[in-house]
A = this chain, B = another copy of it.
Amino acid sequence: MINKKVSSVEEALIGVTNNMTFMLGGFGLSGIPENAIAQLVKLGVSGLTCISNNAGVDDFGLGLLLQQKQIKKMVSSYVGENDEFERQMLSGELEVELIPQGTLAERCRAAQAGFPAIYTPAGYGTEVAEGKETREFDGKMYVLEHAFKADFAFVKAWKGDEAGNLIFKGTARNFNPNMCGAAKITVAEVEELVPLGELDPNQIHIPGIFVKRIFQGAVYEKRIEQRTVRQKST
Protein backbone atom coordinates (compact mmCIF):
# COMPACT_ATOMS: atom_id res chain seq x y z
CA MET A 1 0.00 0.00 0.00
CA ILE A 2 1.07 3.53 -0.71
CA ASN A 3 1.71 5.11 2.66
CA LYS A 4 0.15 8.55 3.16
CA LYS A 5 0.91 8.92 6.85
CA VAL A 6 2.77 11.96 8.08
CA SER A 7 3.86 12.25 11.67
CA SER A 8 2.52 15.67 12.56
CA VAL A 9 0.30 18.53 11.54
CA GLU A 10 3.46 20.53 10.79
CA GLU A 11 4.53 17.98 8.23
CA ALA A 12 1.01 17.72 6.87
CA LEU A 13 0.92 21.41 6.04
CA ILE A 14 4.31 21.66 4.34
CA GLY A 15 3.95 23.75 1.20
CA VAL A 16 1.24 26.03 2.52
CA THR A 17 2.02 29.65 1.62
CA ASN A 18 0.36 33.06 1.50
CA ASN A 19 -2.39 33.77 -1.06
CA MET A 20 -3.34 30.14 -1.57
CA THR A 21 -6.84 28.78 -2.06
CA PHE A 22 -8.03 26.19 0.45
CA MET A 23 -11.04 23.93 0.73
CA LEU A 24 -12.07 23.17 4.29
CA GLY A 25 -14.59 20.50 5.25
CA GLY A 26 -17.26 20.88 7.88
CA PHE A 27 -20.81 22.09 8.37
CA GLY A 28 -21.08 24.66 11.13
CA LEU A 29 -18.49 23.45 13.62
CA SER A 30 -19.17 19.79 12.87
CA GLY A 31 -16.48 17.86 11.07
CA ILE A 32 -14.07 20.77 10.70
CA PRO A 33 -10.31 20.12 10.39
CA GLU A 34 -9.51 21.55 13.82
CA ASN A 35 -5.84 20.68 13.82
CA ALA A 36 -5.14 22.02 10.34
CA ILE A 37 -6.90 25.28 11.22
CA ALA A 38 -4.85 25.63 14.42
CA GLN A 39 -1.68 25.08 12.42
CA LEU A 40 -2.71 27.67 9.81
CA VAL A 41 -3.11 30.18 12.64
CA LYS A 42 0.36 29.23 13.89
CA LEU A 43 1.91 29.53 10.43
CA GLY A 44 0.33 32.96 10.05
CA VAL A 45 -0.17 32.59 6.30
CA SER A 46 -2.39 35.33 4.91
CA GLY A 47 -4.24 36.45 1.81
CA LEU A 48 -6.09 33.16 1.86
CA THR A 49 -9.16 32.23 -0.15
CA CYS A 50 -11.20 29.71 1.81
CA ILE A 51 -13.89 27.53 0.27
CA SER A 52 -15.95 26.32 3.21
CA ASN A 53 -19.68 26.04 3.74
CA ASN A 54 -19.48 28.21 6.87
CA ALA A 55 -16.99 30.56 8.44
CA GLY A 56 -16.91 29.29 12.01
CA VAL A 57 -17.72 31.35 15.08
CA ASP A 58 -15.69 34.18 16.58
CA ASP A 59 -13.38 32.01 18.63
CA PHE A 60 -13.50 28.65 16.83
CA GLY A 61 -13.16 27.14 13.40
CA LEU A 62 -12.38 29.57 10.59
CA GLY A 63 -13.20 32.39 13.01
CA LEU A 64 -9.69 31.87 14.38
CA LEU A 65 -8.19 32.72 10.97
CA LEU A 66 -10.54 35.68 10.61
CA GLN A 67 -9.42 37.07 13.97
CA GLN A 68 -5.85 37.06 12.63
CA LYS A 69 -6.99 38.66 9.36
CA GLN A 70 -5.49 35.76 7.41
CA ILE A 71 -8.46 35.37 5.08
CA LYS A 72 -8.85 37.57 2.03
CA LYS A 73 -11.90 35.87 0.59
CA MET A 74 -14.56 33.42 1.74
CA VAL A 75 -16.57 31.23 -0.63
CA SER A 76 -19.49 29.91 1.44
CA SER A 77 -23.20 29.28 1.50
CA TYR A 78 -23.88 30.61 4.99
CA VAL A 79 -21.73 32.85 7.16
CA GLY A 80 -23.79 33.93 10.14
CA GLU A 81 -22.85 33.58 13.80
CA ASN A 82 -19.60 35.54 13.57
CA ASP A 83 -19.20 39.17 14.65
CA GLU A 84 -15.65 39.64 13.40
CA PHE A 85 -16.68 38.22 10.04
CA GLU A 86 -19.51 40.73 9.83
CA ARG A 87 -17.20 43.62 10.75
CA GLN A 88 -14.60 42.69 8.13
CA MET A 89 -17.24 42.08 5.48
CA LEU A 90 -19.08 45.35 6.05
CA SER A 91 -15.79 47.30 6.14
CA GLY A 92 -14.73 45.75 2.86
CA GLU A 93 -11.64 44.08 4.31
CA LEU A 94 -13.07 40.66 3.55
CA GLU A 95 -14.41 39.57 0.19
CA VAL A 96 -17.36 37.17 0.38
CA GLU A 97 -18.81 35.04 -2.40
CA LEU A 98 -22.07 33.41 -1.36
CA ILE A 99 -23.18 30.40 -3.37
CA PRO A 100 -25.92 27.81 -2.89
CA GLN A 101 -24.97 24.91 -0.65
CA GLY A 102 -25.65 22.21 -3.23
CA THR A 103 -23.67 24.14 -5.82
CA LEU A 104 -20.77 24.37 -3.39
CA ALA A 105 -20.84 20.60 -2.84
CA GLU A 106 -21.06 19.85 -6.54
CA ARG A 107 -18.30 22.28 -7.57
CA CYS A 108 -16.07 20.36 -5.15
CA ARG A 109 -17.25 17.04 -6.54
CA ALA A 110 -16.66 18.28 -10.11
CA ALA A 111 -13.04 19.09 -9.22
CA GLN A 112 -12.64 15.66 -7.62
CA ALA A 113 -14.17 13.83 -10.56
CA GLY A 114 -12.60 15.72 -13.45
CA PHE A 115 -15.69 17.57 -14.62
CA PRO A 116 -15.02 21.12 -15.82
CA ALA A 117 -18.46 22.46 -14.97
CA ILE A 118 -22.01 21.44 -14.14
CA TYR A 119 -25.51 22.66 -14.95
CA THR A 120 -27.60 23.20 -11.83
CA PRO A 121 -31.05 24.77 -11.45
CA ALA A 122 -30.02 26.41 -8.15
CA GLY A 123 -29.86 30.17 -8.34
CA TYR A 124 -31.46 30.55 -11.75
CA GLY A 125 -33.23 33.90 -11.95
CA THR A 126 -31.37 35.22 -8.91
CA GLU A 127 -28.26 37.36 -8.51
CA VAL A 128 -26.24 34.13 -8.11
CA ALA A 129 -26.75 33.53 -11.84
CA GLU A 130 -25.76 37.05 -12.89
CA GLY A 131 -23.00 36.98 -15.50
CA LYS A 132 -23.20 33.21 -15.75
CA GLU A 133 -24.28 31.12 -18.70
CA THR A 134 -27.83 29.79 -18.38
CA ARG A 135 -29.44 27.13 -20.50
CA GLU A 136 -32.69 25.29 -20.94
CA PHE A 137 -32.98 21.52 -20.83
CA ASP A 138 -36.44 19.94 -21.15
CA GLY A 139 -38.18 23.21 -20.35
CA LYS A 140 -36.24 23.92 -17.16
CA MET A 141 -33.50 26.52 -16.75
CA TYR A 142 -30.02 25.75 -15.43
CA VAL A 143 -26.92 27.75 -14.52
CA LEU A 144 -23.43 26.68 -15.60
CA GLU A 145 -21.15 26.50 -12.56
CA HIS A 146 -17.45 25.71 -12.79
CA ALA A 147 -15.35 23.24 -10.85
CA PHE A 148 -13.35 24.77 -8.03
CA LYS A 149 -9.58 25.03 -8.25
CA ALA A 150 -7.74 24.86 -4.93
CA ASP A 151 -4.22 24.31 -3.65
CA PHE A 152 -5.04 22.37 -0.50
CA ALA A 153 -8.12 20.58 0.77
CA PHE A 154 -8.22 20.12 4.55
CA VAL A 155 -10.65 17.45 5.62
CA LYS A 156 -11.47 15.74 8.87
CA ALA A 157 -12.57 12.13 9.20
CA TRP A 158 -13.44 9.84 12.08
CA LYS A 159 -11.14 6.94 11.25
CA GLY A 160 -8.44 6.48 8.67
CA ASP A 161 -5.54 4.21 7.82
CA GLU A 162 -2.04 4.70 6.43
CA ALA A 163 -3.29 4.09 2.90
CA GLY A 164 -5.36 7.25 3.30
CA ASN A 165 -8.72 5.47 3.43
CA LEU A 166 -11.32 7.44 5.36
CA ILE A 167 -14.52 6.79 7.29
CA PHE A 168 -16.66 9.66 8.54
CA LYS A 169 -19.12 9.77 11.40
CA GLY A 170 -22.68 11.11 11.42
CA THR A 171 -23.29 14.53 9.93
CA ALA A 172 -19.62 15.38 10.47
CA ARG A 173 -19.27 13.79 7.03
CA ASN A 174 -20.90 16.69 5.10
CA PHE A 175 -18.52 18.31 2.56
CA ASN A 176 -15.42 16.38 3.63
CA PRO A 177 -15.73 13.45 1.19
CA ASN A 178 -16.56 15.77 -1.71
CA MET A 179 -13.41 17.82 -1.11
CA CYS A 180 -11.04 14.84 -1.09
CA GLY A 181 -8.98 14.92 -4.25
CA ALA A 182 -10.61 18.20 -5.30
CA ALA A 183 -7.46 20.24 -4.57
CA LYS A 184 -3.85 19.75 -5.63
CA ILE A 185 -3.03 18.34 -2.19
CA THR A 186 -5.60 16.78 0.14
CA VAL A 187 -4.67 16.63 3.81
CA ALA A 188 -6.86 14.44 5.97
CA GLU A 189 -6.82 14.53 9.74
CA VAL A 190 -8.50 11.76 11.67
CA GLU A 191 -9.59 11.12 15.22
CA GLU A 192 -8.15 7.65 15.02
CA LEU A 193 -5.48 6.32 12.68
CA VAL A 194 -5.99 2.56 12.64
CA PRO A 195 -3.61 -0.15 11.39
CA LEU A 196 -3.78 -1.14 7.74
CA GLY A 197 -6.41 -3.79 7.13
CA GLU A 198 -8.57 -2.82 10.07
CA LEU A 199 -11.09 -0.87 7.98
CA ASP A 200 -13.60 -3.01 6.09
CA PRO A 201 -12.90 -2.37 2.36
CA ASN A 202 -16.67 -2.39 1.84
CA GLN A 203 -17.21 0.43 4.27
CA ILE A 204 -14.62 3.00 3.26
CA HIS A 205 -16.23 6.32 2.41
CA ILE A 206 -13.21 7.75 0.61
CA PRO A 207 -10.46 5.54 -0.85
CA GLY A 208 -6.90 6.65 -0.14
CA ILE A 209 -6.24 7.57 -3.76
CA PHE A 210 -8.02 10.87 -3.08
CA VAL A 211 -5.85 11.67 -0.05
CA LYS A 212 -2.22 12.83 -0.20
CA ARG A 213 -1.34 13.10 3.50
CA ILE A 214 -3.00 11.74 6.60
CA PHE A 215 -2.33 12.32 10.29
CA GLN A 216 -3.99 11.72 13.61
CA GLY A 217 -5.19 14.98 15.14
CA ALA A 218 -3.65 15.70 18.54
CA VAL A 219 -6.87 16.85 20.13
CA TYR A 220 -10.49 17.46 19.11
CA GLU A 221 -12.69 19.90 20.97
CA LYS A 222 -15.72 19.17 18.73
CA ARG A 223 -17.61 22.18 19.95
CA ILE A 224 -21.41 22.13 19.77
CA GLU A 225 -22.91 25.26 18.22
CA GLN A 226 -26.57 24.82 19.18
CA ARG A 227 -26.98 22.48 22.10
CA THR A 228 -30.62 21.40 21.97
CA VAL A 229 -31.95 18.75 24.34
CA ARG A 230 -35.24 17.43 25.62
CA GLN A 231 -36.07 16.52 29.17
CA LYS A 232 -36.49 12.94 30.23
CA SER A 233 -40.10 12.39 31.10
CA THR A 234 -40.26 11.09 34.64
Contact = CB atoms under 8 A, between A and B. Distances in A.
A121 B140 CA distance: 25
- Which size bracket describes the interface of A in this complex? 20 to 34
A119 B170 CA distance: 32
A115 B114 contact: no
Contacts of A169: 202
Interface in A109-140: 114-121, 137-138, 140
A48 to B, nearest CB: 23
A27 interface: no
A205 to B, nearest CB: 9
A121 B167 CA distance: 30
A142 interface: yes
Nearest to A173: B202
Contacts of A146: 137
A115 to B, nearest CB: 6
B120 A119 contact: no
Given A116-B138, A137-B116, A142-B116, A168 B202 contact: yes
A116 B146 CA distance: 15
B119 A116 contact: yes
A140 B140 CA distance: 28
A203 interface: yes
Nearest to A137: B116
A219 B110 CA distance: 39
Nearest to A144: B119
A116 B169 CA distance: 31
Contact of A140 (B116, B118, B168, B203): B116
Contacts of A168: 202
Those 4 A-B pairs whose CB atoms lie nearest each other, nearest first: A116-B137, A203-B203, A116-B119, A116-B142
19 contacts: A114-B121, A115-B118, A115-B119, A115-B120, A116-B119, A116-B137, A116-B138, A116-B140, A116-B142, A117-B119, A117-B137, A118-B118, A137-B146, A167-B202, A168-B202, A169-B202, A170-B201, A170-B202, A203-B203
